[in-house]
Amino acid sequence: MNMKFIRKLPSAKQIREEIPVPENLKDVKEKRDLEIRNVFTNNDDRFILVIGPCSADHEDPVCEYVEKLAKLQEKVKDKILIIPRVYTNKPRTTGEGYKGMMHQPDPNKAPNVAEGIKAIRKLHLKVLSETHLVTADEMLYPENYTYLSDLLGYVAIGARSVEDQQHRMIVSGMNVPAGMKNPTSGNLSVMLNSVVAAQMGHDFVYAGYEVRTSGNPLAHTILRGAVDSYGRNIPNYHYEDLQLLAQSYAKRDLENPAVIIDTNHSNSMKKFAEQPRIAKEIINSRKWDSNLKKFIKGLMIESYLVEGRQDISDNNIYGKSITDPCLGWEDTENLIYYIAENV
């Protein structure tokens, strides 16, 4: 085998014992989880925003950013539920580039997954402790979820993972909402089949055990745009796209039909500054059609303290993305207020 075994990683049980969730925060998370669940089960008509940096690269700027979100949450709490995007694992199309805090707790140092696992758990716990907001992360590796399952309030399955059987089956064992992105091809059937699989119960092998799940009725879709065979971005957030997805949902026996729309990636044509315009169009589509208003549960937005992106260096700008470019704070604040006034 052409593989070097560097070190044995700690188990999820060991990590939870070393970095436990205090009892008072368990109650906080349970209450917030219920609020989010109620949106997906149509018992709460508030609008969800999964919002934050493309990647959670450093603890201090991420926590400062989320503290700003928490203050805004208080002001818009009657209209919006904010779920901070704290993405600690980053899929890379070619395998090159920064793979997230779990791989590199310090982007300027060599990878160390054992320390990275501790760093990401501490980060998610710190956000919950300081802001009482539960976080969202992407499940890049199926094994990751066990290290964070008592902290996350929302999980995303990426465009390159959504066809993977293991990802689908693990989502079927989650008790929080999990968004299944459309694949990069944009194929709606693949995405919806993933939701079908995630809402079913399964028997399979996981973390050295034979396990059984009962299905996750909160599994739903995320539209993130597509890429054609020529490498061109194809948005799928327009009114006609949303109607098509709603009709495709109706042909399947699925619980809690819902979609979250990613305003960046291929939907923005990789132009991060287009996100406010896209968000406003989606809000208008909801206003135009009452069925879409019920169907579209929220948006996914990439935003950080400083707009744009930068390469990793010894002189990085504090709070500026080192992966995909993001909205800056001023534009983010204005956009959240606009959404709150118009949903």
| Block residue for tokens 């989320």 | 66
Beta strand pairing call for 226-227 and 233-234: antiparallel
- Give residue 138's pLDDT: 95
Q: In what order do the strands lie in the sheet with 47-52?
A: 80-84, 47-52, 296-302, 259-262, 219-223, 178-181, 152-157, 135-138
pLDDT in tens, the chain (343 residues): 788 888 888 999 999 999 999 999 999 999 999 999 999 999 999 999 999 999 999 999 999 999 999 999 999 999 999 999 999 987 777 667 788 899 999 988 888 999 999 999 999 999 999 999 999 999 988 888 999 999 999 999 999 999 999 999 999 999 999 999 999 999 999 999 999 999 999 999 988 889 999 999 999 999 999 999 888 999 999 999 999 999 999 999 899 999 999 999 999 998 999 999 999 999 999 999 999 999 999 999 999 999 999 999 989 999 999 999 999 999 999 999 999 999 9
> What pLDDT is attached to residue 6?
84
Domains in the chain, CATH or no CATH each = 16-337 (3.20.20.70)
CA distances from 279 to 88, 193, 263, 336 (A): 25, 27, 7, 10
How many residues comprise the chain? Answer: 343
For the chain, how far is it from start to end, CA to CA, in angstroms? Answer: 55
**Hey, is 287 helix, strand or coil?**
helix
User: What residue type is assigned to position 84 of the chain?
Assistant: P
Consecutive H or E run containing 315: none
Distance CA 110, CA 108 (A): 7
Cβ-in-10-Å burial (0-12, 13-18, 19+) of 222 comes to: buried
> Whole-model pTM above 0.85?
yes
- Beta-strand (E) ranges in the chain? 47-52, 80-84, 135-138, 152-157, 178-181, 203-206, 209-212, 219-223, 226-227, 233-234, 259-262, 296-302, 306-309, 320-321
